[in-house]
Structure 1
Amino acid sequence: MSFLLAMTNPMAPSQKIPTLADRLALRQRPTGWPLMHQDWGDLLFMHWPVPAEIIQPHLPPRLQVDTYDGMAWLGVVPFRMWNVRSRVTPPVPGVREFLELNVRTYVHLDGVPGVWFFSLDATNALAVWAARTFFYLPYFRARLALARPAPEHLHYTGHRVHNGAASAHFSAAWELGETLPPTEPGSLAFFLTERYALYAAGGQGPGRGEKLYRGRIAHAPWPLRSARLLGYESSLVESHGLPTPTGAPVLHAGGPLHVDLWPLQRV
C-alpha cells in the first residue's frame, strides 16, 4: 500500500492528488539562487498516523492534507541547525547555530506536496523574528537543550517562552540504531522524510492571513538510522488544539545534511 491510494478528503476543495512522479520531480534542484544555506543534524522524526478529518480543519482552506494509506501524519521533529547563513549577507554572530523543534503535518496544493508547520520552536530570538517576519512561519522563542549522555544516546528538553503564545514543554530521549538503506520511492519513510517544499500563510496588508506561499528546499535524500525511544513527554501537539497522539511513533533518526532554501513564492 502507498500514498498512491490516498483518498481525497471531502472537507477540503477537490485537488489533484500528487503522484509518485510529482514527488520525485521535487528532488530536482530549483532554478535560480537559494536564499539561505543551513546544515541539519542530530534529528529525530517522530510520526503518528491521524485521521485526515482531524487535521484538515486546522489547515488553510486551500491546502489539502496529504495522506498515506488514507491516513494523515502528525510529526514532532527536534534537531540541531548550524552553518546558518544567507547568500547575500555575511554570517551574523549568534545566529549560525541553534536548536529547533517543530510540529508538522503534510499537505498538497495543485499536485505539489509539502510541509505545513503548526509551530517551530527555536532558541535564537533573532532567527525567530526573521522567520516570522520574512517567511510567515509560526516560529516561537523557546529554551531548548541537547545532551548526549553517550555517543549514541541523545536527549532533548525544553519549553516555550514566547510572549503571548500557548505554553508547551518537551522532553525526548532516544538511542541511535543501525544505518538504514536509502528510502524506497513510494515507501512510508519516503513519504515522511523526503519533503522538498513548505507552505506558509501570512504576508502584509489586507487579507494577510488568506495569502498562501510556497517555499522550495533542496538537499540530498536523508541519511537515516533506526532509533529506539527511551522517553517522551510533550504538550506541543496539544498546544495547537490537536488531540494527544496515541500509540508508538514511527521513528527515523537523520543527519547530517546540507540544505538550501529558496525565497517564498505566492501561490
Structure 2
Amino acid sequence: MTLPTPTRPWALHMRWLELCFMHWAVDAATLSERLPTGVELDTYQGRAYLGVVPFRMEGIRPRLAPSVPGLSAFPELNLRTYVKVNGVPGVWFFSLDAAQKVGVRLARTFFHLPYMDARMWMRRRATKGRGEVMEYASLRTHAGEAPARFAAAYRPVGEVFTARPGSLEDWLTARSVLYSADRRGQVFRGDIHHVPWPLQRAEADIRVNTMAEQIGMALKGEPHLLYSERLDVRAWLIVRT
C-alpha cells in the first residue's frame, strides 16, 4: 500500500544494500499474541508472515549533514512482521541486530526500536558459474537480551522486477510505515519513502537461524525469498499514533 509522502522535512537518509527478504508463513494467532496493545497483525489471504532480513546499510546521514566515517555503514539483521495501527499497514520489528554500538543506542533512544548489539560479518564472493553470493553471519552480544544467531549464503536469480500490486511480493515489501513502542506501551509511527523495490528472486543456504526463538516461535520449511541490490531511503522522525 502506497501512502502519501509526509510534507514535513525528512530526518535521515540511508542506503540498503545486498538485502534478502526471507519470509516464513506462521500461525497468525500465536504471532498476534506477541504484539502490543493497539497493534493489529496484518495477514495476506489469511496467512501471517515472519521475516528475517539480512542486509548492509551505508550512507546514513541526518538531513543537511554529511555521513560520519565509522558510523554510517554497517550490517543489519531484522526480525519483522506486518501489522496495522488505526487501519494503516506497516512493519513491526521484534529485533534489529546491528554491528554499530552508537547507532544501536541512538535508534533505541530516538526511535524506540529494539536495536541490539551484534558481532556481524558479511562478504560478497564470486563463484564458478553461479555469479556472486552474499555470505552473512551474526551473533547477538547485547547485554540482557535473548541470544540469537544467524548464518546464511544467498544470491539473486533472474531478472529485476517490480512487484505487481496485490501480489504477495508487493504486500511484503511495499510498506512505507514502521511502528515501535516505548517502555510504557505508547505506540509510535515512523514514515519512510523510497522508489518501488527493484526485486529479484533469490536462492539461500540458511545454515543457522535462531532469530525467532526470542519470541518463542520456530521457522519451519522453505522460506519465500526475494533479493534487492540497492535502495535509497529517506526516513522521518517518529510521531505518536
Coarse TM-score class (shorter-chain normalised): over 0.9
Would you say the 8 A contact 1:157–1:172 is kept in 2?
yes
1:159 aligns with 2:110: no
Q: 1:53 is matched with which residue: 11, 14, 29?
A: 29
Aligned to 2:81: 105
Aligned to 2:236: 262
The CA deviation at 1:29 is 2.0
- Partners of 2:160 and 2:24 in 1: how far apart? 20
- Partners of 1:137 and 1:117 in 2: how far apart? 7
TM-score by length of 1: 0.86
Aligned to 1:253: 227
The CA deviation at 1:237 is 0.8
Q: 2:206 is matched with which residue: 231, 235, 252?
A: 231
Q: 2:95 is matched with which residue: 116, 119, 123?
A: 119
Letter of the aligned partner of 2:210 in structure 1?
S
Letter of the aligned partner of 1:175 in structure 2?
R
- Partners of 2:184 and 2:47 in 1: how far apart? 27
Q: 2:169 is matched with which residue: 189, 208, 212?
A: 189
3-state SS, counterpart of residue 162 of structure 2: coil
Provide the alpha-carbon RMSD of the alignment.
Answer: 1.2
Aligned to 2:185: 210
The CA deviation at 1:160 is 0.4
- Partners of 2:53 and 2:207 in 1: how far apart? 12
The CA deviation at 1:88 is 4.9
- Partners of 1:65 and 1:147 in 2: how far apart? 34
1:70 aligns with 2:46: yes
The CA deviation at 1:66 is 0.4
Letter of the aligned partner of 1:211 in structure 2?
Q
Would you say the 8 A contact 1:175–1:230 is kept in 2?
no
Q: 1:95 is matched with which residue: 61, 71, 74?
A: 71
The CA deviation at 1:195 is 1.0
- Once the two structures are superposed, what CA deviation does each residue of 1:44-78 show, in whole Å capped at 9, x if it has no partner? 00001112101111001111100001011100000
- Once the two structures are superposed, what CA deviation does each residue of 1:84-114 show, in whole Å capped at 9, x if it has no partner? 0001544333111000000000000111000
The CA deviation at 1:212 is 0.6
Would you say the 8 A contact 1:222–1:255 is kept in 2?
no
- Partners of 2:46 and 2:112 in 1: how far apart? 29
- Partners of 2:143 and 2:64 in 1: how far apart? 31
Aligned to 1:36: 12
Structure 2 gap segments, 5+ residues each? none
- Partners of 2:179 and 2:54 in 1: how far apart? 19
Letter of the aligned partner of 1:261 in structure 2?
A
1:177 aligns with 2:157: yes
- Partners of 1:147 and 1:36 in 2: how far apart? 26
- Partners of 1:178 and 1:192 in 2: how far apart? 19
The CA deviation at 1:255 is 2.9
| 232-241 or 103-112, which deviates more | 232-241
1:85 aligns with 2:61: yes
Corresponding pairs, count: 237
Letter of the aligned partner of 1:194 in structure 2?
A
Q: 2:197 is matched with which residue: 222, 226, 232?
A: 222
Aligned to 1:135: 111
TM-score by length of 2: 0.95
1:240 aligns with 2:215: yes
